[in-house]
């Protein structure tokens, strides 16, 4: 992680549902703003050009409010849910913000604010935030964030491994069931269609016809609703499939699972552990440490803030 300094850093975590902004001094969150920006719905309701302008204006206004309050902020980084070309900064695709194509959030916000704003894939940002929070764990770290979609990131040798084109570790789009439900990425049966908050609501609706949020399905499962329990058990199993596939290739020691869905982890844990142990190659089975995010889901903001600082 970057050397300690007294500079303040601003990190944003853009989700399909929530927009969060955090002001950090080193690793400490000094102040947070969180609100439902519903960017996913904006993209579904408006033509892409109009949706983009709305997203830009809402995000810029939120950043400016923080800058007005903390003029000593030195760097601004954003974790954004999409495939972002690291060279051009263009968004190649965002499965949960449909219609957005070849837009450049970093450039457009920098122009609006008159300040440099850097944008990273949200999974990469969260992976880096977790890595920096965990006192530099040895052996690398794989992150899976379960939110509106599923983000992923890998930190090895202290650096985010973004891949040749910037699209590495798209864990949420590993296919775990051929001919499974259609995904926003255009394929079918991605793990995101089982273990994201969106998928948990949809899969419960498929079984029962009732449209509920993941949180509501979780409450029902805790009260003994068998169909709700089976949706979470399937989520745990499919997530483990995707993580085992990844670990069998990258062989890192630490797995951190974050995002809003981890509040229901107890409903997923048994099926997750069973499938992970089954699908991992034997030599890795007792060597991987799986933990839930200890950052209170702040890793995305923290990682974006820190990455912006070292990327300037």
Which residue do the tokens 């939110």 mark?
Answer: 147
Residue spans of beta strands (DSSP E) within 64-138? 73-80, 83-84, 91-93, 117-121
Q: Which stretch binds Zn ion (CB under 5 A): 24-32, 175-183, 269-277, 303-311?
A: 175-183
CB 311 to Zn ion: min, Å: 27
Nearer to Zn ion (CB atom), residue 171 or residue 255: 171
Beta bridge partners of 36: 18
Q: Does 238 bind Zn ion (CB under 5 A)?
A: no
**Best CA proximity match to 133, nearest among 260, 304, 305, 1:** 1
CB atoms within 10 A of CB 26: 17
Q: Which stretch binds Zn ion (CB under 5 A): 113-121, 141-149, 170-178, 245-253?
A: 170-178
Question: Minimum CB separation from Zn ion for residue 237, in Å?
Answer: 18
- Pair of tokens at residue 164: 């040749």
Site string for Zn ion, 187-206 (x = CB under 5 A): x--x----------------
Window contacting Zn ion (CB under 5 A); options: 103-111, 114-122, 184-192, 227-235: 184-192
Q: Which of 185, 191, 239, 243 binds Zn ion (CB under 5 A)?
A: 185
Distance between CA atoms of 171 and 163, rounded to whole angstroms? 13
Q: Which of 122, 128, 141, 173 binds Zn ion (CB under 5 A)?
A: 173
CB of 181 to Zn ion, least distance (A): 10
Q: What is the DSSP string of 223-278?
A: TT-HHHHHHHHHHHHHHHHHHHHHHHHH--SEEEEESGGGGGGGGTHHHHHHHHHH
Q: Which residues bind Zn ion (CB under 5 A)?
A: 173, 183, 185, 187, 190
């Amino acid at each position: 992680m970057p050397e300690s300094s007294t500079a303040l850093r601003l990190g944003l975590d853009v989700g399909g549902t929530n927009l969060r902004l955090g002001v950090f001094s080193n690793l400490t969150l000094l102040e947070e703003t969180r609100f439902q920006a519903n960017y996913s719905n904006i993209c579904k309701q408006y033509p892409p050009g109009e949706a983009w302008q709305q997203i830009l204006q809402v995000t810029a206004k939120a950043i400016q409010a923080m800058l007005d309050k903390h003029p000593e902020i030195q760097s601004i980084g954003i974790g954004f849910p999409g495939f972002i070309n690291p060279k051009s900064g263009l968004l190649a695709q965002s499965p949960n913000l449909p219609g957005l194509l070849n837009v450049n959030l970093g450039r457009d916000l920098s122009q609006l604010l008159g300040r440099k704003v850097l944008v990273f894939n949200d999974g990469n940002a969260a992976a880096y935030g977790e890595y920096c929070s965990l006192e530099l764990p040895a052996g690398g770290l794989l992150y899976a964030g379960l939110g509106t979609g599923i983000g992923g990131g890998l930190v090895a040798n202290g650096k985010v491994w973004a891949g040749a084109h910037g699209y590495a570790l798209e864990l949420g789009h590993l296919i775990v069931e051929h001919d499974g439900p259609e995904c926003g990425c255009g394929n079918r049966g991605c793990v995101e269609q089982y273990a994201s908050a969106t998928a948990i609501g949809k899969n419960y609706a498929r079984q029962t016809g009732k449209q509920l949020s993941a949180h509501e399905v979780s409450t029902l499962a805790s009260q003994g609703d068998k169909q709700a329990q089976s949706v979470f058990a399937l989520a745990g199993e499919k997530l483990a499939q995707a993580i085992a596939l990844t670990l069998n290739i990258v062989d890192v020691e630490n797995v951190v699972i974050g995002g809003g869905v981890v509040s229901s982890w107890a409903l997923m844990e048994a099926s997750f552990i069973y499938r992970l142990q089954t699908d991992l190659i034997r030599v890795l089975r007792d060597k991987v440490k799986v933990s839930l995010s200890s950052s209170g889901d702040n890793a995305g903001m923290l990682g974006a803030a820190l990455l912006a600082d070292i990327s300037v």
